[in-house]
Amino acid sequence: MHYRKRNFDFGVLMLSIFMLFACGQDTSLSLQAGSMSGAQLAEAKGCTACHTHTAESTIGPGWVLPWGEQRLFSDGTSMLVDEAYLRMSMLEPALKVVQGYENIMLPAELTETEMALLVAFIRELSSPQQEQVQ
C-alpha cells in the first residue's frame, strides 16, 4: 500500500513539473511575438517606403522631426511636434499636410499597441540630443 501511494504522488509531482514547464514555454512565446521593435513595425506596415529613420526627406519627411517646435503646414497653419501631433499625423494625414509635401499618405491602420510603439520610436529618433548635433 505504502509503495503504491508514493508512486502516485510521484506521478502528480511529475505532472506538475511538466505543466509548469509548458506554461513557461507559452509565456516566452507570447513575449517574443510582442517584442517587434519600432523599426521592424515601420517596415512591416510599409511606412519605410516613404519615410527614412534620419532627417533625410524622400517621398515623406524623414522621421528625425523638430521635436517640441512648430511644424508648418501647406494651409499656412502650424502645430507643435509632440506625441498628440504624431498620432494625428498617422490617423488623419490629410488633416495637416506638412509644407513642401504632397497629400498622399493614407490613414495608418494600427492597433493602440502598434501606435504607441511607433510614436515612441519616432520620438526617440527625434530626441533633443540629435537636434543639438545638427
Provide the mask over 50-69, with x wherever binding to ligand HEC is found by CB under 6 A and - wherever it is not: xx-------xxx---x----
- CA distances to 3, 7, 51, 99 from 73, rounded to whole Å, are 82, 76, 18, 4
Taking CB under 6 A as the rule, does residue 103 contact ligand HEC? yes
Question: Quick check: 113 binds ligand HEC (CB under 6 A)?
Answer: no
Of 13, 15, 49, 91, the one binding ligand HEC (CB under 6 A) is 49
Element (H, E) at 97: none
Cβ 125 to ligand HEC shortest distance, Å:
11
The single-letter DSSP state of residue 27 is H
Write down the number of H helices and E strands in the chain: 5, 2
- Type and span of the H or E element at 100: none
Residues that bind ligand HEC (CB under 6 A): 45-47, 49-51, 59-61, 65, 71, 86, 89-90, 93, 96-98, 101-105, 108, 118, 122
